Amino acid sequence: MNAETRGAGWFSALDDLVTRVETAAWELRGFAERATGAWRTLAEDWDELARDGAALGRELGRWPARSARLARAGWLLAQVAGSYRFHAIRSAFLGADAARAADASLHARNARRFRDGSMRHGGAFLKVGQMLSARPDLLPEAWVSELAALQDAVSPVPFEAVRAIVEAELGAPLEARFARFDTEPLAAASIAQVHRARARDGRELAVKVQRPGVGALVELDLDLLAIFVESLRSMLPSADYETIVAEVRARVSAELDFEAEGRVMDALAEHFAAHPAIRVPRRVPALCSERVLTSEFAAGRRITAALDAWRLARDAGDADAGRRIDETLGLALEAYARQILDAGVFQADPHPGNLLVGEGGELVLLDFGCACEMAPATRDRYLALVLASFAGDTARVAALLAELGFATRSGRPDTLLHFAEALLGSLRAAAQGGGMPWLDEREIAAQARALLAAVTDDPVVRIPDEFVMLARIFGTLGGLFQHYRPRIDFARHMAPVLGALA
């Protein structure tokens, strides 16, 4: 692509952003005109007038904040998109080494811009930034490193706002519903925060409360982020970005639906009820609503805190600490295998804050706002895919990938087989050799180069919806395994799952 073409693309992208902003402004004007017409038409019916007037007031009350956010967040994304477009033009006049150095500098600068903007704006910006921090397969290292800071970057909502939401949702003063309600949150996230409480019958509880006004912010942010991806699409590796953006939109929006989250929690609590070492807290329906989700309180340490302590002890010669690492990560692998291949519904946000290690060594799964359900036929195909990979049946693997909805530009399966090997090769080796093999940095780099070469030669142009979330799980768990290097007892944690389902 020559400099003139790149320049045209840059101006086209920025023009698209401006057009979208103008569209939002015209939407406001159109709403005002429609509201005025409705006001005149319904003037004779006072009851309807009062209702429409209240709705008009609420909508217009949101627009100043929406317009300010649109301007601030839109400018942030325009800066990032524009800098990459300008860089594409500039790179045409640089040597290879200078272009690589400029790439690294630009990635670092834009990653800091996005990180800082996500911290300021919150909402879907922060949530998407947290999701991207666990995707080194999609982003340069500078982005992953900078966005990692977003995992613990949320400021809590003041307690009086929390009290107001809980009392409005549950229809009574806080003291009438709870024997105790802690004013300081246990955790604060982009969509909600969690407070510890005690029920009037003495049970210890965790109360998840949605942040005030977050729904409108998320809707606007996701629109802006979709525009941003589209404006940079010509500069990104070939991929099925429509599916990726649609799935991210669906999953982030789903985190606002506490009733759906409660149903997933119920299903998985029941699914693991008989398991001796994997637990999901049970919901307390009488203390739940559209914006409040109350469940049993689960005590435990964040999984990475436990693993870090045990790794230090293991490296100092403590064999028992090494066994604890092996057992904990074995349980994590088993927990997700059982959810995906057996339950058909899985928690799709396995970051360290959502995985606890209990006093007895049990693994506790938390936070089901980001979850994915699969039809039985889809679940069965993924199980068959795992079994075919273990058997080394590449023809069957290729056929199953096509049945699931994967496709390359050429229609050949080579790139898909590279992906399948990257995802399932270590598991197959563990099944055959009794332990999870670990690659050194050179081997990882070689594997990444081979995969990148395959993608460049014949890109994946379509992926199934659920795989966006599955890849998130593979990426997060794979990072934990590679970092702590456990010796997973595959026969104990995985063979019963696969054997029972095969």
Average pLDDT for 410-427: 80
Strand stretches in 366-409, DSSP E = 371-373, 407-408
Tell me how far apart the alpha carbons of residues 37 and 368 are, in angstroms, rounded to a whole number: 44
Predicted confidence at residue 235, as pLDDT, reads 56
| Residue 349 is a catalytic residue | yes
Q: What is the 3-state secondary structure (H, E, C) of 430-461?
A: HHHHCCCCCCCHHHHHHHHHHHHHHHHHCCEE
pLDDT of 59 strictly over 60:
no
Tokens of 385: 């895919």
Highest-confidence segment of 191-195, 303-307, 441-445, 498-502: 303-307
Between 68 and 15, where is the model more confident?
68
* pLDDT tens figures, 348-396: 888 788 999 999 999 999 999 888 899 999 999 999 998 898 888 999 9
Question: Alpha-carbon distance 447 to 389, whole Å?
Answer: 17
Average pLDDT of span 109-128: 70
What per-residue confidence (pLDDT) applies to 95? 64
Q: In this predicted structure, what is the pLDDT of residue 36?
A: 45
Indicate yes or no: pTM above 0.85.
no
Three-state secondary structure call for residue 261: helix
Q: What is the pLDDT of residue 433?
A: 60
Asked if residue 308 has pLDDT above 60, the reply is: yes
DSSP-derived pairing of the beta strands 345-347 and 371-373:
antiparallel
Greater model confidence, 43 or 199: 199
Q: Tell me the per-residue pLDDT of 203-259, one tens digit each, with 9 for 90 and over.
A: 999 999 998 877 767 776 677 667 666 666 655 555 566 766 776 777 677 788 899
Q: Categorize the per-residue pLDDT at 47 as very low, low, confident or very high, splitting at 50, 70 and 90.
A: very low
If we measure between CA atoms, which residue out of 186, 200, 201 comes closest to residue 299?
Answer: 186
Dihedral sign, Cα of residue 147, residue 487, residue 442, residue 459: negative
How confident is the model at residue 241, as a pLDDT?
65
**Do 482 and 434 form a contact (C-beta atoms < 8 A)?**
no
Q: Name which of 249-258, 266-275, 459-468 the model is least confident about.
A: 249-258
**Is the pLDDT reported for residue 134 higher than 80?**
no
pLDDT of residue 203: 96
Q: Is the predicted pLDDT of residue 50 greater than 50, yes or no?
A: no
Q: Which two tokens stand for residue 160?
A: 């009086």
pLDDT for 85 equals: 64
What are the pLDDT digits (tens) for 140-169? 777 777 776 666 556 788 999 999 999 999
Which residue would you say has higher pLDDT here, 496 or 233?
496
Whether 437 shows a pLDDT value over 60: the answer reads no
pLDDT of residue 9: 45
Rg (CA), the chain: 25
Report the pLDDT value the prediction gives residue 152, as an integer from 0 to 100: 58
**Which residues of the chain are in CATH 3.30.200.20 domains?**
159-212+257-296
Least confident stretch, 13-22, 86-95, 134-143, 301-310: 13-22
3-state class of 47 per DSSP?
A: helix
Select the more confidently predicted residue: 104 or 434.
Answer: 104
Give me the mean pLDDT over the 177-190 stretch. 91
More confident: 476 or 502: 476
Residue of 221, 240, 326, 349 marked active site: 349
Instruction: Give 319 or 413, the one with higher predicted confidence.
Output: 319
Q: How much helix, strand and coil, in percent to the nearest 5, is found in the chain? A: 65, 10, 25
Range ranked top by mean pLDDT from 220-229, 396-405, 448-457: 396-405
Over the chain, what is the mean pLDDT?
77
Determine how β-strand 460-462 pairs with β-strand 407-408.
Answer: antiparallel
What pLDDT score was predicted for residue 67? 54
**159-212+257-296 sits in which CATH class?**
alpha beta
Tokens 């970051």, located at residue: 351
376-385: list long-range contacts, CB under 8 Å, 24+ apart: 376/344, 378/404, 378/464, 378/466, 379/340, 379/341, 379/342, 379/344, 382/340, 382/341, 382/470, 383/341, 383/498, 383/501, 383/502, 385/420, 385/424
pLDDT confidence bin for 64, thresholds 50/70/90: very low
**pLDDT value of position 188:** 82
Q: Under 8 Å CB-to-CB from 274, ≥6 apart: which residues?
A: none
Structure confidence by residue, pLDDT tens digits, 170-179 = 999 999 999 9
